[in-house]
Structure 1
Amino acid sequence: MFAFRLAGIKLLSLVALTLVFVATSASAVFANLEPRNNLPTTSKQHLSLQRRSAILNNNPRRMGRRSKRHCKAKSRDDATTSKGAKQHSGSHSQVSSQNKSGTSSNSGFESDSESKTSSSVSGGLFGFTSKNCGSSGANDDQPNGSQDFLNCGLTSGGWKPPQLSLSQLRIMPASQASTAPVFAPCKEVLWAFEAAEKAHGVPATVLMSFAMQESTCNPNVTGGNGEQGLMQITRDKCRGAPNGNCKDPWFNVDTGARYFKTTLDQCGGNVLQAIGQYNGWQLGLTVKKATAAKAQGNCHAQNNLDYLYQMLNGWFLGKANTYDIGSYKNLAAC
């Protein structure tokens, strides 16, 4: 009888061990079946399809072989957009090294066309003098130069801006701009400006300044001449937009940043000329030419003669009253 009970106990123990083993194995199997891609099906932010594909493609271990299919663009326009999207993460280390190495270079003149993201709060044009335009007139209220200096030649033969590089200017660091009240409208799409900075080397604060000046950082704005979105890019720059949506925040900011950087390079690094061209300024511009559209019944088509001053001594510094500064105010009556 005792032997029978002992055998029964051994049998029950064996069954229990077997059940534990089976349960453990099943847990391991289900754990391996759990999806490794933790990205949500629908992003909380309004990312374009190309941008989302780029994010997924930057995690090849998660996507396996599938990611290779998304790396090949179907057209030249798609290739340009896809290439720009994938460069966001790849250029991060390059921009970071520029930030570290260039912080103290604001006071020195840069003759090359490379735009650095290193302009710090200690920069500015204090003591700077141009051969053709004279003293910058920089002071604590206008560290990036007086309006007469920035608009040099506008009232005497045509606009001919002094040669200045982006790294010479005082620009609010992006870390401060991201929480500054004046840039509050840009907060929800801050990620788009940060991505464009990494891709093109243009400071996020500069890009947000363009957006505030052009659209009050509203991604849904359509300009009077059909300009699109945050950066108010023209229709000819909308090729390759995701689903034809030129107002897509990532596409719009990235396109605007690329255009500005290209213009800056073409201008030999002259940041004043490049910023002016973003608002339609050209070398040789005069007050009469800039305001001619008003006499023709199209007030909003004028060039904003306060544009440079508002950008450099307003938005770049995070000033709350930027729309009100400047002496011309030629758009105020529109």
Structure 2
Amino acid sequence: MAQYATHYLILATIIRLAGAQSVDPGIGINPEAQGATEDVTPGAGPNGSEDWFNTGLDGDGWNPPFLNFTTLYHINRPAFYAGAGSSCEQYDSYFQIGGDSHGIDPTILAFIAMQESSCQADAGGPTPGLMQVSCDNYPNGVCTDSIQDNVNAGANYLRSQLDQYGNNAIAAIGSYNGWFMAGSGLNSNKGLTDDYPCSAEGQSNGEPQNLDYLQQTLNGWFTGLNPYGDQSWIGTYRCQGSCSNGALC
């Protein structure tokens, strides 16, 4: 749907250079994003810097800046499916239906599915399937084995967060991963802080464990890179889902 289309970027030639990923020099950067760079580095990329996405994590709690969802820079689906998102191609029709039904670019649903489950429809856990959202977002609030129901549930939750936060992509996508702001009742009623995931409370809740989530998503999958594979250097917290050896997440 045109009103929800983002600025599509076809990242044609990707070259690994000195810890950064260079893309076609004619692409430019998202003019609405603070700290944006043409090259994807561990802490920045076309949609802004990780420090900006994570505003407040090293202080009183996450205070997401505003980035309009409709301005997000990303590659198109054919380019994504031809590279890092190849495992998502088989579910394209589901993303199309879910996206069209909720006013969301289907390509973005594919990016989120890669971040959440590596596009594995049989991914388990308390939030199963491709989109890894709670059963509350399914029809009648009950999880089913339907792939379409799963994708629709993810699209429904993302749409609800976009509506709640005035189309703020950073707030909505962070919330998709369980990030929270002041007033949630968690972390002494503060927003998410970088010492929360490995605190006793954070570990008992089990989420959010990945403080690199926004960087990996908005400057990783969105640009056709694979933070779980060859581009595992994307992100500055180096989250491994473990709190051992001084890790934060």
TM-score normalised by length of structure 1:
0.57
C-alpha distance after superposition, 1:63-97 (max 9, x if no partner)? xxxxxxxxxxxxxxxxxxxxxxxxxxxxxxxx1x4
* Structure 1: runs of 5 or more not aligned: 1-94, 99-115, 130-134
Report the Cα offset of residue 253 of structure 1: 0.4
Distance 1:198 1:153, change over 3 A: same
Determine the C-alpha separation between the residues in 2 that align with 1:262 and 1:276. Answer: 13
C-alpha distance after superposition, 1:17-63 (max 9, x if no partner)? xxxxxxxxxxxxxxxxxxxxxxxxxxxxxxxxxxxxxxxxxxxxxxx
Aligned to 2:159, which of 261, 272, 276? Answer: 261
1:236 lines up with 2:136 in the alignment: yes
Determine the C-alpha separation between the residues in 2 that align with 1:222 and 1:252. Answer: 12
Determine the C-alpha separation between the residues in 2 that align with 1:203 and 1:123. Answer: 21
SS of the aligned residue for 1:163 comes to coil
* Structure 2: runs of 5 or more not aligned: 10-26, 182-190, 244-249
Determine the C-alpha separation between the residues in 1 that align with 2:200 and 2:207. Answer: 6
SS of the aligned residue for 1:289 comes to coil
The structure having more radius of gyration, on CA atoms, is 1
Question: Which residue is equivalent to 1:136?
Answer: 35
Distance 1:124 1:294, change over 3 A: farther
| Structure with the higher fraction of residues in helix conformation | 1
Distance 1:123 1:265, change over 3 A: farther
Aligned to 1:287, which of 194, 206, 213? Answer: 194
Question: Which residue is equivalent to 1:326?
Answer: 235
The code of the aligned residue for 2:6 comes to S
Determine the C-alpha separation between the residues in 2 that align with 1:124 and 1:285. Answer: 28
Distance 1:302 1:269, change over 3 A: closer
Q: Is the contact between residue 159 and residue 285 of structure 1 (CA under 8 Å) also seen in structure 2? A: yes
What RMSD in Å do the two structures reach over aligned CA positions?
A: 2.4
Q: Is the contact between residue 6 and residue 73 of structure 2 (CA under 8 Å) also seen in structure 1? A: no
TM-score normalised by length of structure 2:
0.75
Report the Cα offset of residue 204 of structure 1: 1.6
Determine the C-alpha separation between the residues in 1 that align with 2:167 and 2:55. Answer: 17
Q: Which sits farther off after the overlay, 317-326 or 147-156? A: 317-326
The code of the aligned residue for 1:330 comes to C
The number of aligned residues is: 210
Aligned to 2:100, which of 198, 213, 223? Answer: 198
Report the Cα offset of residue 156 of structure 1: 2.0
Question: Which residue is equivalent to 1:37?
Answer: none
Q: Is the contact between residue 293 and residue 302 of structure 1 (CA under 8 Å) also seen in structure 2? A: no
Which structure has more relative contact order (CA 8 Å, sep 6+)? It is: 2
Q: Counterparts in 2 of 1:1-334, with a 5 A limit?
A: 95=1, 97-98=2-3, 116-121=4-9, 122=27, 124-126=29-31, 128=32, 135-141=34-40, 142-177=45-80, 179-223=81-125, 226-240=126-140, 246-283=144-181, 284-292=191-199, 296=203, 301-322=207-228, 324=232, 325-333=234-242
Q: Report % sequence identity.
A: 36
Determine the C-alpha separation between the residues in 2 that align with 1:250 and 1:194. Answer: 10
The code of the aligned residue for 1:264 comes to L
Report the Cα offset of residue 281 of structure 1: 0.3
Question: Which residue is equivalent to 2:23?
Answer: none
Determine the C-alpha separation between the residues in 2 that align with 1:119 and 1:236. Answer: 32
Determine the C-alpha separation between the residues in 2 that align with 1:292 and 1:270. Answer: 28
Q: Is the contact between residue 55 and residue 62 of structure 2 (CA under 8 Å) also seen in structure 1? A: yes
The code of the aligned residue for 1:118 comes to T
Determine the C-alpha separation between the residues in 2 that align with 1:175 and 1:296. Answer: 39
Q: Which sits farther off after the overlay, 191-200 or 322-331? A: 322-331
